[in-house]
Amino acid sequence: MANDFLFAEEPEELSSPNRGSWKVLIVDDEPEVHAVTKLALSDFSFQSKNLEFVSAYSGREAKTLIAQHPDAAIILLDVVMESDDAGLLLARYIREELHNHYVRIILRTGQPGQAPERQVIVNYDINDYKSKTELTAQKLFTVVMSSLRSYRDILSIDHSRQGLEKIISASANLFSSHSMEQFIDGVLQQLTSILGCNDNALLANSSLVAGTLNDDADPDRLVVFAGLGEFERKEGKAIQDVLDATLLDAFKQALDSRSIVYRDNYLVAYCTSKFTSGSLLYVSGLPSQITDTQKRLIELFSQNVQIAYENVQLQNEIEDTQREIVYRLSEAVEQRSIETGNHVKRVAFICYDLAKAYGLEEEEAEKLMFASPLHDVGKVGIPDGILNKPMRLQDQEWEVMKTHSSIGYEILKNSKRTIIQAGAVIARDHHEKWDGSGYPEGKKGEDIHLYARIAALADVYDALRHRRCYKSAWTLEQVLTYFDSEAGKHFDPKLVQIFKSRVDKLEAILQKYPDEDDDMRNL
């Protein structure tokens, strides 16, 4: 009875929820070993965290528990259990099958001769080897302390590696909204690792998506831009919805003072900004003592992370400006032919829709959308008398008219910008026909660039559905009949089928961007 009481299982003692705990897996077939180990380490604490014990009484049971507790810091492992080498087989399973190289494995054996130390250390990836007879309470304390320090440092290095991988990956395409989020996520991970804190961190900004320099959002209504730990899936949410009153007060203090606020075991840092109301960085689980070096690191991060974010905004502003210039120039060309600028806008959105339905990637579909307004830029070289003639052109006039595709190509072909290069191809090929009867080169089938095949169908569709100086707007039924007859002749037959399957969505684009004197809306 006394022995039953002495070696009874003790309730697992968890540390405070604020600091967490270190998990120790005890693997031994003797219940007394479990009880004595827990007793000897009952008051153990490292970095304000206590120990959480998980018990397994065989190698087989330990396999299940290790899979359930991949964050175990230490395994106190017996060698001889259900077999003479059960512990050694378990060590090999952990390293070679689970590929867990973080957990510190301390081998404890009551039969040293059964598993010679030199042989075990050489052949198995363990971190310490102790005989049970020499493992006093003090030595157990020492080996657990040293193992936890190693485990902490290994995790810190691994977190740094993961953070650096994200930053390096993001640097290849830094100036886009997606890679900026990845970049900030990596830097947050680096920062939490260097400070030795947990993974609860977030960056809050008054604008979730890059692209607006003059942000009119209420600076007090910040949203989560990037998060780790409990904030990992909170992107886009207002901080009022994810933080408690105490944290909100710290956020307000940091925003009002434009400084770094340290409280208990967390900080809120204001990230300076030239263009917007700034960002706020929150990191929790700080060590009890923050060094001057760590504080300087936080200051540098808060100064520079907003600059990186604003670089994305500036890049998007430049790209938006370039796209607008393309639209404006294309609209100017269309005005010469007594067509409203909404024609190029409609064609652009129609091209994007058809490209996505055809199977093009998002980047390619967007490139086509932004380049398609340049399809008729060569009309700047066509005389007004021919361009706006309200009756059938004479043969000589038609030959002049056909030169606009070559003129457009010559205007655009030497650009180093991908959108302009795509525009050159579209300008040259958008009057080629699937059966080879088009111009300027009589290309046939897939020899015609896909961009041009899509743009040609979009251009003809929009032109037929709207009034021109030489014709009235066609009804949708007339257009569908015409496209059926021209599939495999004028148009790529696959594109015609895609067009017919999406005609309702394409008609919605026409309705959304009508001409001022539109006479097709009721057709």
- Three-state SS for 29? coil
40 and 141 in contact (C-beta within 8 Å)? yes
- Three-state SS for 501? helix
Report the C-alpha gap between 264 and 267 in whole angstroms. 8
Strand 201-205 relative to strand 279-284, pairing: antiparallel
Helical (H) or strand (E) element with 396: helix 395-402
Widest pairwise Cα distance in the chain:
116
Phi-psi region of 389 (alpha: psi -120 to 50; beta: other; left: phi over 0): beta
Cα separations (Å) of 219 from 188, 212, 257?
Answer: 22, 14, 13
- Three-state SS for 382? coil
Phi-psi region of 236 (alpha: psi -120 to 50; beta: other; left: phi over 0): left
425 and 449 in contact (C-beta within 8 Å)? yes
Buried b (16+ CB within 10 A) or exposed e, 457-485: bbbbbbbbbbbeeeeebbebeebeebbee
The position carrying tokens 């998002």 is 362
108 and 28 in contact (C-beta within 8 Å)? yes
Please name every residue paired with 468 in a beta bridge, in sequence order, or none if there are none: 471
According to DSSP, residue 95 is labeled I
Please name every residue paired with 398 in a beta bridge, in sequence order, or none if there are none: none
Q: Which of 166, 234, 379, 433 is catalytic?
A: 379
- For the record, the structure tokens of 506 come out as 């394409």
- Three-state SS for 399? helix
What phi and psi, each to the nearest 5 degrees, are found at residue 210? -65, 155
Please name every residue paired with 202 in a beta bridge, in sequence order, or none if there are none: 227, 282
Residue 494 a catalytic site member: no
267 and 283 in contact (C-beta within 8 Å)? yes
CB atoms within 10 A of CB 419: 22
Report the C-alpha gap between 253 and 385 in whole angstroms. 69
Catalytically annotated residues: 379
